[in-house]
Amino acid sequence: MDRTLIILKPDAVQRGLMGGIIQRFESKGLATVGMKMTMLSRSVVEAHYEMHREKPFYGSLVNFMTSGPVVLMVLEGNHAVDVCRKLIGATAGFKAEPGTIRGDYGMSGANNLIHGSDSNEAAKVEIARFFKADELLTYQPALQHWVYDTSGGKAQ
């Protein structure tokens, strides 16, 4: 099983969209193995978005991500990164397809509701940035055999 980091950004929290967004991931069959609500420090946000440091939107992105509480989640499932990115949709809400989180709830390119890891490698780094090992659970959801074909002994 793969894991990915999801951040419900300050706009998702302030707009009261947390439950609806989380439900989409659960309905798809992803397991939540870690979750917490927090205020991110400037230094953590700067490290998280280091790859954008030279871009013109970097300062406003850091300010936005530190402007209010966020929800940090670690989701687990087969192909978790790819599945989550499809559920999330294109970066700008006004360009995102209907049926995606950003397509259904977003209009902005900057205040875009949610972050999802873009690769398995990035997910490992990002999860370690926001979660201690003992904050993550390992368990088999009771409904897993209904989500995946487990007839071969392994979820497929």
- Is 30 a member of any domain? yes
Task: Name the active-site residue from 48, 52, 79, 115.
Answer: 115
The reported pLDDT for the residue numbered 149 is 85
Domain count, the chain: 1
Question: Can you give the pLDDT at residue 154?
Answer: 75
Residue 154 lies in a domain: no
70: domain range?
A: 2-145
pLDDT of residue 152: 79
The answer to whether 115 is a known catalytic residue is: yes
Task: Give the per-residue pLDDT at 17.
Answer: 98
How far is the CA of 90 from the CAs of 119, 131, 134, in angstroms? 16, 26, 33
Residue 111 pLDDT:
93
Confidence (pLDDT) at 144: 86
Domain CATH code at residue 67:
3.30.70.141
- Residues with pLDDT less than 70, the chain: none
CB within 8 Å of 6: residues ≥ 6 apart? 25, 72, 73, 74, 75, 84, 114, 115, 116, 117
